Amino acid sequence: MTNFDEQRFIQLTRDGDYDAFNRIVAEYHDAVFAVVLRTVRNRAAAEDITQDAFISAFRKIASYRGGIFRAWLFRIAKNASLDYLRKLSRRPETSMDENIVYFSETVEDDSADPLAETLNAELARLIEHCLGGLSDDHRLAMVMVDVEGYQYDETAESIGVSIGTIKSRINRARARMRDCVQMQPELLPASMRL
């Protein structure tokens, strides 16, 4: 990270330097792929969308006018993801449920208890299921803020809305998630039960 001079690589990319851009790709591909995968919830599609997003970013690098570069990348990926979901929703023969990928194997837990591990895996599946039940906008906001840990301002810039809108979406998404996970209280730790 310390050797990563983002602005220099951006400038080199503007001059058509593929190697410089691929340094940027290597820096951000995990983050972009994670957000895309948690948004579209289909691994193959997420790979395609991530690849297309980086190609698109290279072609549109001239339109980058400063600000948080990662947020700019996220916005391209977000647009591609929502386009994909929109197309998917218009093809009813493709069921979302069939393509759900439970990419969270487990909730990280330091205990070595096998029962706890199983419960955590079930909890992870429940959380992923509930995340999938959110609207695209709410899920994207929640994934970026609550799962990936980005700040409100960066999330707002990435999604292209105001910070107030992000806060509002987060608030509603949390309430819905809470309602959703409460439907299987046996999987929840005591602190999460109402």
Partner 1 sequence: MIRKFLNRLFGRTDSITDAINSYVGGNASADETSLVEQMMRDDPALEKDLAAQRAMLGVLGKIGRIEAPRSFAITPEMVAAAEGSQSGISKFAELFAPQRKFAMAPAVLAGFAALTVALLTIGDLAGVIEQSRGGDSSASAVAVESAAAPAATPAPASVATGGLPESDTASTAPLEAAGAAIAEPETTDAAAAPAATSAPPAGAPRALDSGITAGDSSAVGEAQDADAPSSLAAAPPQNLESADAKLEIDGDGEVAKRGEVIPEDLEESAAASQLQEAAEAVPETESIAGVGIGADIGEGAGEGAGEGAAAGTAKGAATGAGDGIELPLWQLQIALAAIALAAIGAWAGLRRARGE
Residues in contact with partner 1 by the rule CB under 8 A: 18, 21-22, 25-26, 29-30, 32-34, 37-38, 43, 47, 50-52, 54-56, 58-59, 78-79, 82-83, 86-87, 90, 103-109, 123-124, 127-128, 142, 145-147, 149, 160-162, 164-165, 167-168, 170-171, 174-175, 177-178, 181-182, 189, 191-194
Integer CA distances (angstroms), 88 to 38, 50, 142, 170, in order: 15, 17, 21, 24
Q: How far is the CB of 156 from partner 1 (least distance, A)?
A: 9
**Among positive and negative, which fits the CA dihedral 164, 167, 171, 173?**
positive
Rounded distance, CA 65 to CA 41, Å? 31
What's the residue count for the chain?
194
49 in Cβ contact with 76 (< 8 Å): no
Rounded distance, CA 118 to CA 128, Å? 15
Nearer to partner 1, 11 or 162 (CB): 162
Among 100, 90, 59, smallest CA distance to 76 is for: 59
Nearer to partner 1, 68 or 188 (CB): 188
Nearer to partner 1, 68 or 161 (CB): 161
Nearer to partner 1, 71 or 124 (CB): 124
Nearer to partner 1, 65 or 90 (CB): 90
Q: Please tell me what DSSP assigns to residue 31.
A: H
Provide the b/e sequence for 25-42 (b: ≥16 CB within 10 Å).
bebbbebbbbbbbbbbbb
Nearer to partner 1, 114 or 149 (CB): 149
Q: How far is the CB of 5 from partner 1 (least distance, A)?
A: 18
- Judged by DSSP in three states, 96 sits in coil
Q: How far is the CB of 25 from partner 1 (least distance, A)?
A: 5
Q: How far is the CB of 115 from partner 1 (least distance, A)?
A: 17
Q: How far is the CB of 23 from partner 1 (least distance, A)?
A: 9
Q: How far is the CB of 166 from partner 1 (least distance, A)?
A: 8
